[in-house]
Amino acid sequence: MQTTKNETMAFTPTAQPPVGTQQILLMTATITPNNARNLLRTDPVVRFGDYYRALEFYLRLLGQPLAGIVFVENSSSDVAKLRHLVTSHGLSDRVEFVCNYGSYLYSEQGRAYGEFKLLDYAMSVSKMIRGVGAGSVVWKVTGRYKVKNLASIIASAPRGFDAYVDMKDHPRRWLDLRLMAWTPFGYERVFRGVADDLEAKTHEAVMRDYLPARASGVRLVPRFRKEPCIDGIRGWDNGNYSKGGELIKFYVRSLGRVVAPWYWI
């Protein structure tokens, strides 16, 4: 992938998003990983294809339920084709690219550490996120994945949360980092600086207990009302979330949220 000029401040909104609580999707991306530990899906061309297809899917949700999309990338890779995709749909006023600000992969600290550093940056510089104000909700998604039922997850979300995450206790305790939501206030109180506090220990198992301890005085809702339907290929083993055993897990967990909501699987 070729490096292009700095595009961080290229977004200029020209249309007003729908009235009401603004739902912003924040897609995180690393197109060109370098020396990433425990990662099999490393080909930049393959990963770019994942991001392209995911962005194409989420563009269909603009207007309802999404007011806008922020695509943030931390390996200084070429996103020109993604920008062209957005332009070809006439949606440049609803999609902001925070890209080509340098390569900040933090490979020695792990992928979760790098993602939370990326989130700190995006939440600070995104014109769209700053523009929609305190009443907005930011939905962070791992940018290679399509959450097929994102619209219903947003529609079913409880009102008034500061942070909305999905914790699991069985068969192990962990926090699903693929999809999370927060208000600007919730991010500052719960997530800001997590990477620097935890360093290499920033991962799903540690975050399960660490975030609640950090959330004093904040309305942290620890369990999604709906199971996210993820369509995408895992980076660490190239497993497909939407096929075989992973698809069965989705149905079992979806049923569990209805018949045994206290049993967090």
- Summarised one tens digit per residue, pLDDT across range 168-205 is 999 999 999 999 999 999 999 999 999 999 988 888 99
- Of the pLDDT bands very low, low, confident and very high (cuts 50, 70, 90), residue 18 is very low
- Summarised one tens digit per residue, pLDDT across range 113-132 is 999 999 999 999 999 999 99
- Give the C-alpha separation, 42 to 88, whole Å: 28
Task: Report whether pLDDT(20) > 70.
Answer: no
Whole-structure pTM value: 0.91
Task: Report whether pLDDT(85) > 80.
Answer: yes
Task: Report whether pLDDT(8) > 60.
Answer: no
- Summarised one tens digit per residue, pLDDT across range 245-264 is 999 999 999 999 999 999 99
The contacts of residue 16 (CB under 8 Å, 6+ apart) are none
